[in-house]
Homo-oligomer: A and B are copies of this chain.
Amino acid sequence: MLQTEVQDVIQAEAKRDPRITRTRRLLQNALTELLSEKNFPDITVGDIADRATVNRATFYAHFEDKYALLKYMAQERFESALSAKIERAPGFTLANLRLLAVTAYEFLGGFMGHCAPSGPPSSNDHEAIFAMHIQTCIYEIVLAWIRALPPHKRVESPEVIAKVTSWVIFGFGFQANETRQPKRLPPETLADQMLPVLTAGIGALLA
């Protein structure tokens, strides 16, 4: 029953037994609840399973450990937030890239720095872990977009482009939310600062 990441995505397309969807939703909600009560390291798999009214063995049937669940949550929520923004056809366009960035910045701003100097420093650990998965999400989305480009626009190494793009988009937003700015820039502003540099590159600045 345990799924690898790739099989997971494949199965997401195919019709899934509704019990699977429901169980994962219960587990997600359970972890979310627990995170508002205590820190991630203090939460056990048993806690999550109990809260979700799910057997502990069932948890392991879906996720390797609690980190895998956290990762799944990050991806799941980010992708649903994005697909809510992109009604039109997805694809490697400037407009979509901007939507992707804006979504990422809204998303990162949404949960980062919720309990900064108040809580103990360890309480921010799971936020960082959680945030890092967003980069993977962005990478995979961009990669898929590039691979779907029409033949005459094909590029040498989609992976390299996707890496650069995803890290710029992600890192820009991560840093903006990590350092506790007095005034936090709106997601759109962040995106519009980042995009020209990303598209034009820094070659012209070199001596």
With both beta carbons as reference points, the residue of chain B lying nearest to A53 in the complex is identified as: B22
Q: How many copies of this chain are found per oligomer?
A: 2
Chain A, interface SS category: helix
Q: Smallest distance from the beta carbon of A178 to chain B beta carbons, Å?
A: 37
**A93 on the interface (CB 8 Å rule)?**
no
Q: Smallest distance from the beta carbon of A59 to chain B beta carbons, Å?
A: 13
**A193 on the interface (CB 8 Å rule)?**
no
Q: Smallest distance from the beta carbon of A23 to chain B beta carbons, Å?
A: 10
**A21 on the interface (CB 8 Å rule)?**
yes
5 A-B residue pairs with CB within 8 Å? A18-B53, A18-B55, A21-B53, A22-B53, A25-B53
- Chain B residues near A18 (CB, 8 Å)? 53, 55
Q: Smallest distance from the beta carbon of A11 to chain B beta carbons, Å?
A: 17
Q: Smallest distance from the beta carbon of A58 to chain B beta carbons, Å?
A: 10
Q: How far is the CA of A21 from the CA of B53 in the complex (A)?
A: 9
Q: How far is the CA of A55 from the CA of B17 in the complex (A)?
A: 11
Q: How far is the CA of A79 from the CA of B39 in the complex (A)?
A: 35
- Chain B residues near A53 (CB, 8 Å)? 18, 21-22, 25
Q: Smallest distance from the beta carbon of A17 to chain B beta carbons, Å?
A: 10
Which of A25, A53, A55 has the most C-beta atoms of chain B within 10 angstroms of its own C-beta?
A: A53
